Structure 1
Amino acid sequence: MREIGGGLILEGSKRGLYEIELFKEEGFIRKKCIKCGRYFWTLDPEQDVCTDQPCGEYTFIGHPLNPSLSLSHIREKFLQFFERHGHVRVKRYPVVARWREDVYLVGASIYDFQPWVTEGIVPPPANPLTISQPCIRLTDIEKVGRTGRHLTTFEMMAHHAFNFGKISTYWNNETVRYSYEFFTRELGIPREEITYIEDWWSGGGNAGEDFEVIIKGLEVATLVFMHYKVIDNKIHPMRNYIVDTGYGLERIFWLLTGAPTVYDALFGDLVEVLRKKAGVEKLEKKMLEDISKYAGKFDIDIPEIEREVKTKLASKYGYELEEFENLLRPYEVIYRLLDHARALMFMLGDGIVPSNSGEGYLARLVIRRCLKDILLLDLPFDLVHIVDLQIEKWRRDFPEYLEVRDVVAEILSIEAEKFKRLIERGKLVVKRKVLGRRGKRAVSYDDLVELYDSHGIPPEIVRETLSREGVVIDIPEDFYSRLAKRHETAITVPREEKWLENLKEKLKELPPTETTYYELPEETELKAKILKVLDGGRIVVLDKTIFYPEGGGAESDRGLLRGENFEARVVDVKKINNVIIHICENQRGKPYEGSEVTCVIDQARRRAIMRAHTATHVVLGAARKLLGKHVWQAGAHKSEDRGRLDITFYRRLSEKDILEIERETNRVVLENREVNIYYMDRNKAEQKYGFVLYQGGVVPEKVLRIVEVDGWDVEACGGLHCTRTGEIGLVKIVRSERIQDGVERLEFVVGEAAVKYIQDMDIKLRNLSRILSVDTEKLDAKVQELVSEIKALREKVSELKGELVAMEVESLVNQAEKLGPFRIIVKQYNGDRYSLEDLREIAFKIRDQYGNTIAFLYNDKLPMAEFIVALGEEVLSSITADIIREKLTERSIRVVGGGRRHFLQGRLAPMAPKKIVEILIAVLRNCLEKG
């Protein structure tokens, strides 16, 4: 047993996987790197290092190998090469992993096929296959722009072979041969420049031995022989043998062009556009080349090493370190902005809506890093424009993003405005949270995380704000990487209720329950045999059932179980693995295992839920049609009374949006479109419809049950539905709310419930009409008239109250008790004449107008007396509201409430008002005498 990195434990390893036929044929030699100790294969007998960073150096920079090939040509050469070798080209997947429950973003091409294909649950779309998959990785986000090679988004060109049970497609020998032939024959790389390093890879729950392919010091590909599963950080053999390769398209392009950095290779023209717009001095090409070479050779994760590297480079070009860093910083930001803008093109273009959770959190993290850079360096850039430049640049490679460029621009504009408001109020939040503390005012990493996650305030803004107050903070170099890592995997689905978990063991010997609700949805009765009785008859398991179990957001059927001398009401139905349980109440008699029962469902209820379920599909289709492809189902619930649909969207839905969605929904209902339900091979369904199939969630099945509202909506769905949209009846949206940032909730009623809702609203309108003595057609005008009158009356009341407050202030000040240079006002109010808000206004006017005065006002209501204490400016040097609170607490007077140095408000525990006043005056006198 040995540790293989990342804490993973492996029992033995198949060393033979590294002994490749091609190596023998071509004369490769196996050697051990004198620096890192890894084994590698090379044609050069003099080579003593693996040449990977930091053991070697980039020798291709400034020495292009094939600058005539564009990035698009390289991609096409790769895909065509593998097509010629029997692979099927597969269309790229979105960067947001809609088909998975464990991760949010695609981090490698194999993510497209985990876990369903790699586990052998679902066949691959082709075998073998080739793909060029855009990927997003944010775990090295701090290094982007600084190293010359790191990117947050990249295309992973790949070829995959899936061997199930035994090696039948191809394995390690063919994989290495393909890579060798592609680099040498297709790209013209000299054979002696290629090094294969023996290594280990793990990710997405799988692992295996691999080769890292290094050319002129740059890692350009990884060839993984995946045949292990990772469970609880331990490695276990799989039945399957999967070839998982990744060729870095951008890295290969950089290699062939010999550009100073990968950013110059990818974005060269855009770098110049932004540099000129920002008025940044152009750096020497040689300087940029040296920076990339040095950054690759040293571990810049360690600040001391980065500083040492930059000091050497600064000295070489005749600069002081600070001057050199100031020279580099704008370039680093330009590189970073262009990389992040490209990532946002993919993320927002593939439908992510920025929010505070899930993939939306990660998109917002990237957006705010860009906005933060632009703000702190005062750059004349607009993020909307930079992302649009990227959409235009890649229009031939990804024309689909041209269709959504306006939506992407609107999202970014909204996010920029939010960020602007956030920064304005964020500085106050920082000061209150940090400077308001007693004692040490240090800022920890956890503080920075809370300020970012809870308030959206970047740590750089925290540092800038607090530096003016003399508070120095250190921001971890990998702050954003740590945040990304915390949020890159999906939150584990909550475990089932404990009683359901316990049932699994008791049900595991039972056969799958035979169901009839799909085949005979109109049937209301079915005879069945009782297989298991649990919990004193509360839970009944049958050999077959007509009852539909809860699932996909739809409530279960309800009804009756009737047997000889037995009857019970079925109130809930659940599916545990493949066994369906019936939860019963109001039993008459006792059920016995082996006896026969008749299942009777509440058909009216089932039909109501069916209407709500089909309506949910139609409403979702309307929302996507009207609002755009960024709309994605984030949750749903279908009950007998109403439906609920949660959708992702980047702004609040307007009244116009809701009316249009409702109008389109009812139009489709009136058209009486067919609702087709059929089964389809998973891969064929995905190829035909895309991942919009999984609006209702991931379905881990080889064959999908497809529910298609003709020409409107198509989803993989296990629910019961109407046969035509006309059966739904009227759909009325009754409520819309934003349940979290980036998610809108629509609640609607359907069919008879919708008719009843409209009738109830009509009755209310008629009643209002009668009360106000106006026709219903003129109600809105009459209400507006009344609102205007009420507003005028309130203004008059406020004016009069202001006069009363002024009179009360004058009266109280005249009655104030003197205590040294100060005056104390204590006043008890009874009844409802003055609210706490009124007392607050009186107290604050006294505080502001009479700086040497303390006002204690309270309304003696049971069970708690409402109070306000306000202290004038001159008093604060002797006593503060905090001290008053402490002293009252010491005397066992419980204070519920809060405040600041100059005021305290809340409620006091019951006590004779006279006693409270005596204690308060004593406290004040004591404090003032000490002061």
Structure 2
Amino acid sequence: MPSLNEIRSTFLDYFGKADHAVTPSAPLVPQNDPTLLFVNAGMVPFKNVFTGAETPAHPRAASSQKCVRAGGKHNDLDNVGYTARHHTFFEMLGNFSFGDYFKEQAIHHAWTLLTAEFKLPKDKLLVTVYHTDDEAADLWKKIAGLSDDRIIRIPTSDNFWSMGDTGPCGPCSEIFYDHGPSIAGGPPGSPDEDGDRFIEIWNLVFMQFEQLAGGERVSLPKPSIDTGMGLERIAAVLQGQHDNYDIDLFKALIAASVELTGVKAEGAQAPSHRVIADHLRSSSFLLADGVSPSNEGRGYVLRRIMRRAMRHAYLLGANEPLMHRLAPTLVAEMGQAYPELRRAEASIVETLRQEEERFRTTLGRGMGLLDEATANLAAGGVLDGETAFKLYDTYGFPLDLTQDAVRAKGLTVDTDGFDAAMQKQREMARANWAGSGQQGAAAAWFAIKEKAGATDFVGYETTETTGVVKAIVVDGAEVESASAGTTVEVLLDRTSFYAESGGQAGDTGVIEANGRESRVIDTQKQAGELHVHRVELTGDLKVGDQVVASVDADRRHTTRSNHSAAHLVHAALHHVLGPHVAQKGQMVDGERMRFDFSHGGPLTPEELEKIEAEVNAVIRQNVPAETKEMAPQEAIEAGAVALFGEKYGDSVRVLTLGQSLTDEAKAYSVELCGGTHVARTGDIALFKIVSEQGVAAGVRRIEALTGEAARRFLLDQAGVAKSLADQFKTPVAEVVTRVDALIADRKRLEKELAEAKKQLALGGGGAASGPEDVNGVALIARVLDGVGGKELRGVAEEFKKQLTSGVVALVGTSDGKAAVTVAVTADLTAKFSAADLAKAAVIAMGGQGAGGKADFAQGGAPDDSKAQDGLAAVKAALAG
């Protein structure tokens, strides 16, 4: 019985021998496609090839592509774990022909692999074709010897694929496996086709048409092939299983979950183990590809997946965080096929641990909200959809959990209201993530790339070069010339300008053409390999002009220093904090460096000092930086650090900086990087951290300066210290002691002032010293000038102690605004709520409302001139 890993290898080996370029899986975050959250099909990385925007490196390809599908209506995700074939993460095996072979060879390859390599019984296979695709039907008869009753013609869109309203399209042929009569269900196209007896295992798409905007469909000059076979599905078939969760990979993950929880994967607990196994895969692979859990975009989807798994761990009774303890089992099972899992293992483990610890607190809060929201609902009542969605969105409660919880009280949930809130959130999320990935390259630049080829970048060797204008683009359209005063995008055949990439800002400078200098304000990468200059023209420019392009050398120098410093910071973080640290983003330019990384909490002053000291120690080594070109896997195996989620070409630039501070035979930092860097570490001159802060859950950011900017920053700090020392008439070394003493004195004085205000309020305040009677209720009502909300609370509590039964209503005025505090003794809270009384006072004074409980509440109003109106409103409420 072949393992899942062996099945994957067999597929790729077969097509490699059939002259296909075996392509590594692309990262889950799509490149140059802001319309997708995640790669969700095997053809996505080849989309620009199929549309004709890019020329393929090889006319045939095969891959096992990582895919995530976690969108759609709210119950799609909730199906995972309860069905045999729903997954958030799966692998799509696929073979592709880009205008090379077509239907006959595609069918031949599929049939040969399934029956000769995988040795599936031929009588267990049947196929569907589009109802008008006689060619495919005849080929199945010719190649596979299938009879007409095993070739089912389908007239629906299930067997006709299209990329969208326009673009490539064509008929499909799907291959099904028959699990036998012991399982209910009929063949595709029959009334009971939704049963589980006949399972689709492979889909062959014959791209032979182009759908035009006007509705016309024309034949493509070079038809193509796109196929997809779910690895988990074919593994189930080849391992004699009907359920994907019974294959070897899931058995190992579920066994680990059972061992750690002590709960068997049986009965009502089985779905929880399945959810955990599935969601562990999607969470870990997304983390390995650089996605971080957050409250928006891709990170929002990741957090939903993680929290759903963690809720099921909670349901299984796991007393400690579980997910991070399962990650090593996943890495052991899949790390050989996907080395990025091994490289990111420490970061995956730490992120899962942090998220689960946070969610355990959130889970308790969510249950508290649910109890509060249902406290006053009688049996047969309905929990509003907004609350159900808040539980889902804020506290990670899927709808089914909320429904189960309220069902025990005889309640239901307003699912229509939930769906409406979900739709609103989905639209907000789409607005957040659409376009948040890499910039979608304009179609014009792909066409230009086909004519002009890749830019010859010589910026590693020089900052000035002569080049020829190959293309000019204005507002997304290619033009032959442009006039002075126009801002244009210019492509040269060769350039020394670095295009923004890998977190390094694009170069600026000047282009001299026809005796006029024009300013280059940015350089961006388009169509993958084009360095495009954004230029403010001071003279006319046309295609074919020869120009001299000069990079702003000073800005390039500081950018190089900041980028090299970022590499040193990355290495220092690993040394000081641990191997779990993973780069989550960076931005380096001519001003400063910003480095984002995974870590569970703020760095201590001591940790920051160690990082800064290490970086400066390597700078002082003043050793040459070394670069070499290597194959990505060779570089990684040699110890180079690769960034999570980055897609590398056949050759990568490897940068080595400094010597290890503990072993001179080793390098301090070795990373894959195509950016520009210093020639020697000493060129950085000086490194200074200026801030460290959190930017998202589990993600920290360091901002730092180098060289002259760092020197000026330190001089400014020294100047401030000297100024303070002069004012305090004390040595600079004693300034901190003097400041600490001043802070302590201020806190003491503030405390004494607050106490004085409180005593003054208790003794006067413009009202009678004793309480007044309002409808039989003792009321102390006062306006206290210069007393804020914080002091009001203490005054109200003191007045309340003086009353055996009664109400205290205070309005404090300060800086034109008013603070309201109301306190009610315990015996009156059933009749008078402090929250209601405070709200009445605030509204009477032009405010919006107040917050609190039955015995104590506070609020604020914008106009202190209406203080007496607020007290009058309280009296009116007591008077009834």
Q: TM-score, with normalisation over the residues of structure 1?
A: 0.68
Match for residue 129 of structure 1 among 61, 74, 81: 61
Deviation for aligned residue 1:180: 0.9
- Whether 1:894 and 2:846 are equivalent positions in the alignment is yes
Instruction: Write the distance in 1 (CA, Å) between the matches of 2:87 and 2:692.
Output: 40
Distance 1:697 1:872, change over 3 A: farther
Kept in 2, the 8 Å contact 1:220–1:248? The answer is: yes
Kept in 2, the 8 Å contact 1:571–1:583? The answer is: yes
Q: What is residue 864 of structure 1 aligned with on the other side?
A: 817
Equivalent residues in 2 for 1:639-654, closer than 5 Å = 639-640=590-591, 642-649=592-599, 651-654=601-604
- Whether 1:821 and 2:780 are equivalent positions in the alignment is no
Instruction: Write the distance in 1 (CA, Å) between the matches of 2:684 and 2:36.
Output: 36
Q: Show CA shifts across 1:660-710 (max 9, x none).
A: 543444445445565689999xxx7799679988889889xx999969466
Deviation for aligned residue 1:921: 5.4
Distance 1:338 1:360, change over 3 A: same
- Whether 1:255 and 2:237 are equivalent positions in the alignment is yes
Aligned residue type for 1:408:
I
Instruction: Write the distance in 1 (CA, Å) between the matches of 2:9 and 2:466.
Output: 60
Instruction: Write the distance in 1 (CA, Å) between the matches of 2:261 and 2:28.
Output: 31
Kept in 2, the 8 Å contact 1:678–1:707? The answer is: yes
**Higher mean C-alpha displacement, 122-131 vs 415-424:** 122-131
Aligned residue type for 2:9:
E
Q: What is residue 638 of structure 1 aligned with on the other side?
A: 589
Deviation for aligned residue 1:731: 1.9
- Whether 1:85 and 2:18 are equivalent positions in the alignment is yes
Instruction: Write the distance in 1 (CA, Å) between the matches of 2:706 and 2:245.
Output: 55
Equivalent residues in 2 for 1:96-111, closer than 5 Å = 96-97=29-30, 101-111=34-44
Q: What is residue 11 of structure 1 aligned with on the other side?
A: none
Q: What is residue 835 of structure 1 aligned with on the other side?
A: 788
Kept in 1, the 8 Å contact 2:625–2:656? The answer is: yes
Aligned residue type for 2:306:
I
Q: Show CA shifts across 1:506-564 (max 9, x none).
A: xxxxx99x999949955699999997556xx5869999999969955637647899999
Instruction: Write the distance in 2 (CA, Å) between the matches of 1:158 and 1:765.
Output: 65
- Whether 1:264 and 2:246 are equivalent positions in the alignment is yes
Aligned residue type for 1:923:
A
Distance 1:787 1:232, change over 3 A: farther
Deviation for aligned residue 1:838: 0.4
Q: What is residue 22 of structure 1 aligned with on the other side?
A: none
Equivalent residues in 2 for 1:464-479, closer than 5 Å = 472-473=412-413
Instruction: Write the distance in 1 (CA, Å) between the matches of 2:299 and 2:628.
Output: 33
Q: Show CA shifts across 1:238-276 (max 9, x none).
A: 776442222333222321333363222333466566558
Q: TM-score, with normalisation over the residues of structure 2?
A: 0.71
Aligned residue type for 1:452:
Y
Listed as ranges, the gaps of 5+ residues in structure 2 are 130-158, 179-197, 446-451, 473-479, 658-666
Q: What is residue 318 of structure 1 aligned with on the other side?
A: none
Instruction: Write the distance in 2 (CA, Å) between the matches of 1:387 and 1:542.
Output: 48
| Equivalent position SS for 1:83 | helix
Instruction: Write the distance in 2 (CA, Å) between the matches of 1:521 and 1:624.
Output: 33
Kept in 2, the 8 Å contact 1:362–1:484? The answer is: no
Q: What is residue 349 of structure 2 aligned with on the other side?
A: 409
Kept in 1, the 8 Å contact 2:820–2:841? The answer is: no
Match for residue 119 of structure 2 among 179, 185, 188: 188
- Whether 1:729 and 2:685 are equivalent positions in the alignment is yes
Instruction: Write the distance in 1 (CA, Å) between the matches of 2:876 and 2:284.
Output: 67
Instruction: Write the distance in 2 (CA, Å) between the matches of 1:481 and 1:828.
Output: 46
Q: What is residue 492 of structure 1 aligned with on the other side?
A: 434
Instruction: Write the distance in 1 (CA, Å) between the matches of 2:211 and 2:610.
Output: 49
- Whether 1:214 and 2:144 are equivalent positions in the alignment is no
Instruction: Write the distance in 1 (CA, Å) between the matches of 2:676 and 2:255.
Output: 58
Deviation for aligned residue 1:224: 2.1
- Whether 1:151 and 2:102 are equivalent positions in the alignment is no
Instruction: Write the distance in 2 (CA, Å) between the matches of 1:580 and 1:89.
Output: 35
Instruction: Write the distance in 2 (CA, Å) between the matches of 1:341 and 1:347.
Output: 10
Q: Show CA shifts across 1:713-735 (max 9, x none).
A: 65665x76544443332121111
Kept in 2, the 8 Å contact 1:353–1:630? The answer is: no
Instruction: Write the distance in 2 (CA, Å) between the matches of 1:162 and 1:413.
Output: 44
Deviation for aligned residue 1:183: 1.5
| Equivalent position SS for 1:842 | helix
Aligned residue type for 2:433:
I
Listed as ranges, the gaps of 5+ residues in structure 1 are 1-67, 284-327, 505-510, 585-589
Instruction: Write the distance in 1 (CA, Å) between the matches of 2:596 and 2:430.
Output: 22
Kept in 1, the 8 Å contact 2:594–2:704? The answer is: yes
Distance 1:571 1:581, change over 3 A: closer
Instruction: Write the distance in 1 (CA, Å) between the matches of 2:876 and 2:346.
Output: 68
Q: Show CA shifts across 1:467-517 (max 9, x none).
A: 6877532669999999999969982227999xxx9xx9xxxxxx99x9999
Equivalent residues in 2 for 1:546-561, closer than 5 Å = 551=500, 554=505, 557=508
Q: What is residue 475 of structure 2 aligned with on the other side?
A: none
- Whether 1:172 and 2:103 are equivalent positions in the alignment is yes
Deviation for aligned residue 1:863: 3.3
Equivalent residues in 2 for 1:837-856, closer than 5 Å = 837-847=790-800, 850=803, 852-856=805-809
Instruction: Write the distance in 2 (CA, Å) between the matches of 1:910 and 1:612.
Output: 53
**Higher mean C-alpha displacement, 463-472 vs 254-263:** 463-472
Q: What is residue 40 of structure 1 aligned with on the other side?
A: none
Instruction: Write the distance in 2 (CA, Å) between the matches of 1:703 and 1:395.
Output: 21
Distance 1:227 1:430, change over 3 A: farther
Match for residue 2 of structure 2 among 69, 77, 100: 69
Equivalent residues in 2 for 1:46-65, closer than 5 Å = none
- The number of aligned residues is 778
Kept in 2, the 8 Å contact 1:109–1:135? The answer is: yes
Aligned residue type for 2:232:
E
| Equivalent position SS for 2:47 | coil
Distance 1:572 1:74, change over 3 A: closer
Q: What is residue 77 of structure 2 aligned with on the other side?
A: 141
Instruction: Write the distance in 1 (CA, Å) between the matches of 2:762 and 2:847.
Output: 29
Instruction: Write the distance in 2 (CA, Å) between the matches of 1:98 and 1:543.
Output: 22
Instruction: Write the distance in 2 (CA, Å) between the matches of 1:429 and 1:664.
Output: 48
Q: What is residue 47 of structure 1 aligned with on the other side?
A: none
Instruction: Write the distance in 2 (CA, Å) between the matches of 1:365 and 1:856.
Output: 45
Equivalent residues in 2 for 1:308-707, closer than 5 Å = 328-378=267-317, 382-394=322-334, 401=341, 404-430=344-370, 442-443=382-383, 445=385, 447-459=387-399, 462-463=402-403, 472-473=412-413, 491-493=433-435, 518=459, 522=463, 532=482, 537=485, 551=500, 554=505, 557=508, 572=521, 582=535, 604-605=554-555, 607-616=557-566, 618-620=568-570, 623=573, 628=579, 631-640=582-591, 642-649=592-599, 651-655=601-605, 657-672=607-622
Match for residue 246 of structure 1 among 228, 231, 234: 228
Kept in 1, the 8 Å contact 2:812–2:818? The answer is: yes
Q: Show CA shifts across 1:41-90 (max 9, x none).
A: xxxxxxxxxxxxxxxxxxxxxxxxxxx33333333332332233223433
Distance 1:728 1:696, change over 3 A: farther
Q: What is residue 877 of structure 2 aligned with on the other side?
A: 927
Kept in 2, the 8 Å contact 1:618–1:713? The answer is: no
Distance 1:489 1:177, change over 3 A: farther
Instruction: Write the distance in 2 (CA, Å) between the matches of 1:403 and 1:562.
Output: 48
Aligned residue type for 2:789:
L
Q: What is residue 200 of structure 1 aligned with on the other side?
A: 160
Aligned residue type for 2:121:
P
Deviation for aligned residue 1:418: 0.2
**Higher mean C-alpha displacement, 707-716 vs 185-194:** 707-716
Instruction: Write the distance in 1 (CA, Å) between the matches of 2:730 and 2:39.
Output: 61
Kept in 1, the 8 Å contact 2:511–2:550? The answer is: yes
Q: Show CA shifts across 1:185-209 (max 9, x none).
A: 1222221221111223456997543
Kept in 2, the 8 Å contact 1:554–1:613? The answer is: no
- Whether 1:224 and 2:217 are equivalent positions in the alignment is no
Kept in 2, the 8 Å contact 1:851–1:871? The answer is: no
